[in-house]
Copies of this chain bind each other. A is one copy, B any other.
């Protein structure tokens, strides 16, 4: 079982790399055969290559990621995350609760993001 500190460090690093936006570096936090289900209930992506392709969808978006609440116990972390993306026209904010499991080395073995379209807020930039 990874330590709680190892898990919370990995979550903080995940948020940093999500913000930095390099898909390969985000995928490198995952174990080789890890799974991503975002949102929960959608198709499961398996393996680092598929996971990097998933994060590549964020490429080119101006994005911030802020951890609101992090909890860890056993091999699991659950955290409330605020992701804000900005395009020419819109500022979109989504605050999922993500659930991750970890291996002994602190690599992510699974991620499920719990959110629905009702949890996304879009604002036109001209409204700011």
Contact = CB atoms under 8 A, between A and B. Distances in A.
Interface of A: 1, 4, 37, 39-42, 69, 71-80, 95-97, 99, 112-116, 118-119
A39 B73 contact: yes
A77 B76 CA distance: 15
**How many copies of this chain sit in the oligomeric assembly?**
2
Contacts of A95: 69
A41 B102 CA distance: 12
Given A37-B74, A80-B97, A99-B114, 9 more contacts: A1-B41, A4-B118, A40-B75, A40-B76, A41-B73, A73-B113, A77-B114, A79-B97, A97-B97
Interface centre among A39, A71, A79, A116 (most CB of B within 10 A): A71
Nearest to A101: B40
A39 B74 CA distance: 8
A41 B74 contact: yes
A80 to B, nearest CB: 6
